[in-house]
Structure 1
């Protein structure tokens, strides 16, 4: 049994020993991320706990297919939940408060996770060149740097490549059956 399967099955069954091992193995990375992004240790604990609950619910409702490692999947789930929490805090600071039940919040978090999974799945179908170009762009790399990295003739050529790669990714996502389901929600 792979480590990923071990953690997934432990989470699905609620095995306390494996749950403790998940905390011991993966929590520190999440804690570091949350603290570096305007949070504290308590926030990190809440996010980690909510992510595990979310994964547990998904495992109970349907087969969960993880295309990366369990650690990457859990960390991405935590990052998405923390971003939502930061957005919620920002809205609250603007004196715009909206009461939402925990179930609605969890539904939104699950929907975001499904969108992210669809994006990652389709991103992996792109050519290696497109994945590299878009990764650089999404990480804030300038077009000048992209030109140098790929030895393109000019920024115009780099922009055209980015446009074509984005268009291909968008097409792959929109053609997927799950896109229409997610879009309706």
Structure 2
């Protein structure tokens, strides 16, 4: 179900100055406090916040993006992840602990929805990256079968027998799973 904060996503797409000003005044302060408490400057906070908004803009303009959780929680998690990545670059460490701002109390459900969405998005990106590594025949077969066509239709389009198409699909999926498990990201995505 679309969240009422979807209006801010639409404001980004339409460059609605009034709603964009409201978005900045309503959400940027929490991000600024989080970054200042975690070795950042006001300029860092502004950069991270603007980068997060730009990411949202591209996501919304390239997909039918529908916000299903409060924008506050979603933006906070995006900014937190971006800041962790930035700190990791600066410190050359693999683990950075972010001190959360105690003032942010959006409820566990809001953060859970936002975290679930981000996790799902990261899984989708990994899946697309690994599908791209498959051979053309596997890519075509998986694309056809995932587009809602029955295996009979897929077999007809590929001009192979139904049995061969099913066996080939199983092999392609097994190869895809193996490629995904080899990725350093796989375990962190909680499959």
Q: With structure 1 as the length reference, what TM-score do the two structures score?
A: 0.51
Verify the 8 A CA contact 2:52 2:79 in the aligned structure 1: yes
Match of 1:22 in 2: 23
Bigger Rg, structure 1 or 2: 2
Unpaired runs of 5+ in structure 1? Answer: 93-113, 122-172
**Number of residues paired by the alignment?**
111
Match of 2:38 in 1: 37
Match of 1:82 in 2: 83
- For residue 3 of structure 1, report the CA deviation from its aligned partner: 3.6
- For residue 179 of structure 1, report the CA deviation from its aligned partner: 5.8
Cα distance in 2 for partners of 1:44, 1:177 equals 28
Verify the 8 A CA contact 2:6 2:66 in the aligned structure 1: no
Tell me how large the CA RMSD over aligned residues is.
3.2
Match of 1:117 in 2: 117
Higher helix share: 1
Cα distance in 2 for partners of 1:28, 1:85 equals 19
Aligned match for 1:181, one of 128, 131, 137: 128
SS at match of 1:63: coil
Cα distance in 1 for partners of 2:81, 2:16 equals 25
> Higher relative contact order by CA 8 Å / sep ≥ 6: 1 or 2?
2
- For residue 7 of structure 1, report the CA deviation from its aligned partner: 1.0
SS at match of 2:65: coil
Match of 2:138 in 1: none
SS at match of 2:92: helix
SS at match of 1:76: helix
Q: 1:48 to 1:178 in 2, by over 3 A?
A: closer
Cα distance in 2 for partners of 1:177, 1:8 equals 21
For residues 21-57 of structure 1, the C-alpha deviation after alignment (integer angstroms, 9 at most, x for no partner) is: 1110001000010011111111100100111111111
- For residue 119 of structure 1, report the CA deviation from its aligned partner: 3.0
Verify the 8 A CA contact 2:27 2:72 in the aligned structure 1: yes
Unpaired runs of 5+ in structure 2? Answer: 94-113, 133-191
- For residue 177 of structure 1, report the CA deviation from its aligned partner: 6.8
Cα distance in 2 for partners of 1:30, 1:91 equals 23
Question: For 1:35-114, what aligned pairs fall within 5 Å after superposition?
Answer: 35-91=36-92
